[in-house]
Structure 1
Amino acid sequence: MNWLTKLRKLMGIKLSLTLICVGLVVGACTPANPPMQEINGISMIVATTSDVTVGQNRIGFSLFNFEGEAIVAKEVTVEAIFYPPNEQEGIIKDSAPAYWMSIPGGAGKGLYITNLQFDVSGSGTQQNPNYWELVASFTYEEENLWSKAAIVVADESPVVAIGNEVPKSLTLTGDTLAELERISTDINPDPDLYQVSIDEAVINGKPTVIVFATPALCVSQVCGPIVDMVSNIKMKYEKRLDFIHVEVFENPKALLSQGRFSGQQVEAVKEWGLVTEPWVFVVDRNGLLSAKFEIFATEAEIISAIEAVVN
């Protein structure tokens, strides 16, 4: 079992190889003229966010030792460090605390969340030699430690941007158990999440909460919990919003016996620019994106985003 497979199993999170560099392990991520690297030999940081662009970003990450064991520290501070082309000295552009967010499904599963500002794009490539690093500082077992990883910052995201009009995607609806089995892998689907298509919801004058997830086939193992969370939140708002679950794959009933790798993604996934799962989007009453959450969010985060569009 290679190190990435082991981390996936330990984290229960889908990792993006385009996003992370871990010390000296992923040599393909190293830019042509990288700043000098120092590895503390104890820990490494793995970013779980694929959607990082110029501006304010919600960044998810986990910490591991080099045996693949998760590190859960009480206090973690993260710095966004920028290296101009061919420069060995980085510039601290932003710094923020990170908080631990537990993920349903087992003790110790979770990730850290922080919010960082990036003022310029960078990928450490010949096309864009600007280079960004995340550096996490923390205390663990009475030792002061740090970990760092390269991170790609894009000018624009393939995912719908906050403030933009969302795609008017045609998504499947249903009422009966037979209909829901054909449009969702959720073993206990909430019919209320399949009553209206996105194309109808975003023009009817009500805010909308949309969750893209594949509960029974999810790599990250959090699709089911996030769909359940959205369903529970729905009950707090009666008919003031539309709540929609979009299954990631076509023909989910057949996929449950065949496995996810035989499936085709639904068109809405492509229209929204998604390369990971799950995602939660909050759309205002004018059809503009107000908030988005990749992989996982707390109930408080989603409710806060909803309150911003219902009041």
Structure 2
Amino acid sequence: MSYKKFFSIFLFCIGITTLAIFCNEHVDPFSNEYPIKSPITQEGYQIVLATTDLGIGENRFAFIVLSDKGFINRDYIVVTFYATANHIHESKNTAQFMYWDDLNRGSFVANEIFPYPGKWDFKVDFVDNKKDISINGTFTVNKKTVAPDKGDKAPTEKSKTLDDVVSFQELSTGNVIDLELYRHSINEAIKSGKPTVVTFSSPAFCRDETCGPQVKVLQKLSTRLNPSMNFIHVEIYNNPVELQNDSKSGLYSEAFKKWGLPSSQWTFIINCIGEISHRYQGFVSSEELYKTLRFYITEEGIKNHCLAT
């Protein structure tokens, strides 16, 4: 075979492969393992890490602790972080337990600063049944997060609203649809000059232990804080009606793809000038969200985040 013929076939194959990737909307964007699970200890304990998209700087670090009897609930748990690459770094923190609203389960949350990229180890220590328990796990810190980070401009993609559909069922895979969460698209909300809370999720298709009833949390906070801020739910699938009948037919929505999210459930707070101020991978309780949102409805919060517009 001549070099020119071989090279032509090579380019043709690359073109076909590329076309298939871009045309096939069924390709799963979640290329990395999610969630990250630690090995199960001899006593039957395991950590499920909800926050895997971590970058240099301050991060929300959220995880679930499981035993052979179910979820571990404690007010606080001690977590220690160790850099494992070319840096010597050890940091001990306290992770607070956050109940998942009406569910008898929850996750532990700590805010931690990671100064270096690369592989990290962590150890969780607590007491259960009068025994000292330690669980070890690993995770990766990237130089830059995959999903939009704090301080980034929020992508101004149009999300599906009531004006774009014939039936409410086209807006979400959930059973209960709060119309207020679909009044505005993301780009409209950003231009409104109000803070905006955006949740990306598919209620009927929670994939893992870190996924929870996020839309119900959004409904609760929307009732409490509207009209001071915008609340938007973005269904991650573009065809929720078809998906209910065929779970393999899901096509990801344009807004979800535009934001480039590496897992299926995210919540973002966007300030009045269109910047992301907080982000939450996995489920976030109404208690944890409200601790941040209440700042935006105070005089100081309005002055710092809204008057600039």
Relative to the length of structure 2, the TM-score reads: 0.77
Structure 2 residues without counterparts, runs of 5 or longer: 1-29, 303-309
Structure 1 residues 229-248: aligned runs within 5 Å: 229-248=217-236
Q: How does 1:1-311 map to 2 (within 5 A)?
A: 17=33, 20=36, 22-23=38-39, 43-65=45-67, 69-73=70-74, 75-85=76-86, 91-92=89-90, 94-103=91-100, 107=104, 109-122=105-118, 131-174=119-162, 178-220=166-208, 225-259=213-247, 261-310=248-297, 311=302
Q: Give the counterpart letter for 1:200 in structure 2.
A: E
Q: Kindly indicate whether the alpha-carbon contact (under 8 Å) linking 1:284 and 1:290 is maintained by their aligned counterparts in 2.
A: yes
Change (3 A) 1:176 1:189: farther
Contact preservation (8 Å) 1:220, 1:295: no
* Match of residue 29 from structure 1: none
Task: Give the superposition deviation at 1:177.
Answer: 8.8
Task: Provide the rounded CA distance (Å) in 2 between the counterparts of 1:151 and 1:174.
Answer: 40
Larger Rg: 2
Deviations for 1:51-98, whole angstroms, at most 9, x for unmatched residues?
211111111112235x5854444542001111234x9xx631x21111
Instruction: Give, in whole Å, the separation in 1 of the partners of 2:260 and 2:71.
Output: 30
Regions of 4+ moved over 3 Å: 18-21, 39-44, 67-75, 104-107, 175-178, 220-224
Question: Measured at CA, do residues 222 and 157 of structure 1 come closer, stay the same or move farther in structure 2, by a change above 3 Å?
Answer: closer
Q: How many residues align?
A: 268
Residues 91-116 of structure 1: per-residue CA shift (max 9 Å, x gap)? 31x21111222336754x32222222
Secondary structure of 2:141's counterpart equals: coil
**When you count helix as a share of all residues, which structure comes out higher?**
2
Amino acid at match of 1:80: F
TM-score scaled by length of structure 1: 0.77
Post-superposition offset of 1:50: 1.9
Measured against aligned partners, the alpha-carbon deviations of 1:213-260 in whole angstroms (never above 9, x if no partner) come to: 11122224786722111112112223222211101101111111111x
What's the counterpart of residue 6 of structure 2?
A: none
Name whichever of 188-197 and 96-105 sits farther off: 96-105
Identity across matched positions, percent: 25
Counterpart of 2:8 in structure 1 is none
Describe the SS at the equivalent of 2:142: coil
CA distance in 1, matches of 2:146, 2:230: 25
CA RMSD of aligned residues (A): 2.7
Look up the match of 2:17.
none
SS of the aligned residue for 2:151 comes to coil
